[in-house]
Chains A and B, each alone.
Chain A
Amino acid sequence: MRESVIMKIHYGTALAAVALVAVHVLFRLTQGFVDSLTYESVIANYRFLPYAGMLEIILILLSIHGFNGLRVILLELKQGRSYEKAVSYGCIAAMIAIIAYGSRTIFMTNMGMV
């Protein structure tokens, strides 16, 4: 993939994440910070499908943005064919692992498997 395409994705995920994370934070503030973190409240949030969907989108957006940012920093720190390959594939693997791990939480809680 061309670097300009990757960076367009980087900028796009950033802008979309800003909007959605703001909604996520507002949910904590409107419900009262401590109350919103009670077990019942969190479970209710996860079972509310639009909210769970939003969490899933935030998870994907931030994973892409965050691990691409890490890739950029690491590529600038050291150079070399094998190192750069390891960084790129390592970041993709970490990105997929985090999305899979986070999605497991969202799906299982949403489907009432807790």
Chain B
Amino acid sequence: MATILSTPKEKTTSVISPSKKVTLRVAKYNPKTDPKKKWVNYQIPYEKWTTVLDVLLEAKNHLDHSIGIRYSCRQASCGSCGMIINGKPRLACFTKITELDTTMVTVEPMKNFPIIRDLVVGFDRLFKTHKRIKPYIISEDSEITTKTTELLQTPKEVNNYIQFANCIKCGLCNSACPTMATDSLFIGPQALAQAYRYVADTRDKGKDDRLKIIDESHGIWRCHFAGSCSQVCPKGVDPAMGIQLLRGYLLGFRS
């Protein structure tokens, strides 16, 4: 049996100090039992690769099991761990402690979403508005009907919408939007960007349906191009661009 005589020392350019600690400040609130939100602080050690989700799970596993948090993939693919981190909506798994450049990390539930408990918020409204814009290809043509072939697209045609297909429904854009801050009926940047995603798809024939849905008093016209949605999007969807391009159809600049 082979024995390991020695292990090679890993060469690193920067010195990692395991004694580095961050103060994690968590907003704890259960609307069913608590009269108001309270802040709880935890001291958590971190490394240069530690994410906010890592420190939250460290706190949950070793210091306070009661912290309410929703997460899944840990790689910015599922869109579950959106929260307000140091005042801005971000994904906890996609935000490193070091990039925040502070010793105090404050985490709160996303704004403009009802709180279920602590950092977990309800997505009912987001899913409802998302479904409202018909987030699927509307077409009579089908690959399975006779006499039709594949619905081919050129790379250029794909580029028209692929950016918007990156949406992971994390809700950060809706949380950052200034209209969502006060308007309970606004359709929101997430759904509007998805409306553009399907309108810009050459296979889709539902443009008129969708334009009708978004052309109402709490629809696309309540966006004022503040761009906060695009600034917080962790996947480069750029909802602000999608919304303005979509509005071009209603103004007659696009067809």
CB distance from B143 to the nearest CB of A (A): 35
Q: For the complex, what is the distance from the CA of A72 to the CA of B217, rounded to whole Å?
A: 9
Q: Is B227 an interface position by the 8 A CB rule? A: no
Q: For the complex, what is the distance from the CA of A3 to the CA of B220, rounded to whole Å?
A: 9
Q: Is B250 an interface position by the 8 A CB rule? A: yes
For chain B, which range describes its interface: under 10, 10 to 19, 20 to 34, or 35 or more residues?
Answer: 10 to 19
Check B221–A76 contact: CB distance below 8 A.
no
Check A3–B251 contact: CB distance below 8 A.
no
Check A8–B251 contact: CB distance below 8 A.
yes
Known interface pairs A8-B251, A79-B185; A3-B179 also in contact (CB < 8 Å):
no
Q: Is A4 an interface position by the 8 A CB rule? A: yes
Known interface pairs A72-B222, A76-B222; A3-B216 also in contact (CB < 8 Å):
yes
Check A79–B184 contact: CB distance below 8 A.
yes
From DSSP, what is the main secondary structure of chain A's interface residues? helix
For chain A, which range describes its interface: under 10, 10 to 19, 20 to 34, or 35 or more residues?
Answer: 10 to 19
Check A76–B250 contact: CB distance below 8 A.
no
Chain B residue with minimal CB distance to A2? B215
Cβ–Cβ < 8 Å partners of A7 in chain B:
221
CB distance from A1 to the nearest CB of B (A): 10
Cβ–Cβ < 8 Å partners of A72 in chain B:
221-222
Cβ–Cβ < 8 Å partners of A2 in chain B:
215-216
Cβ–Cβ < 8 Å partners of B179 in chain A:
76
Q: Which of B202-218 contact A (CB under 8 A)?
A: 215-218
Check B184–A3 contact: CB distance below 8 A.
no
CB distance from B247 to the nearest CB of A (A): 9
Q: For the complex, what is the distance from the CA of A75 to the CA of B219, rounded to whole Å?
A: 12
Q: Is A77 an interface position by the 8 A CB rule? A: yes
Q: A4-B215, A8-B251 are in contact. List 6 more A-B contacts (CB 8 A).
A: A4-B221, A4-B251, A75-B183, A75-B217, A76-B182, A84-B217
Can you list 27 contacts pairing A with B, beta carbon distance less than 8 Å?
Answer: A2-B215, A2-B216, A3-B215, A3-B216, A3-B217, A3-B221, A4-B215, A4-B250, A4-B251, A7-B221, A11-B251, A72-B221, A72-B222, A75-B217, A75-B218, A75-B222, A76-B179, A76-B182, A76-B183, A76-B186, A76-B222, A77-B182, A77-B183, A78-B182, A79-B184, A79-B185, A84-B217
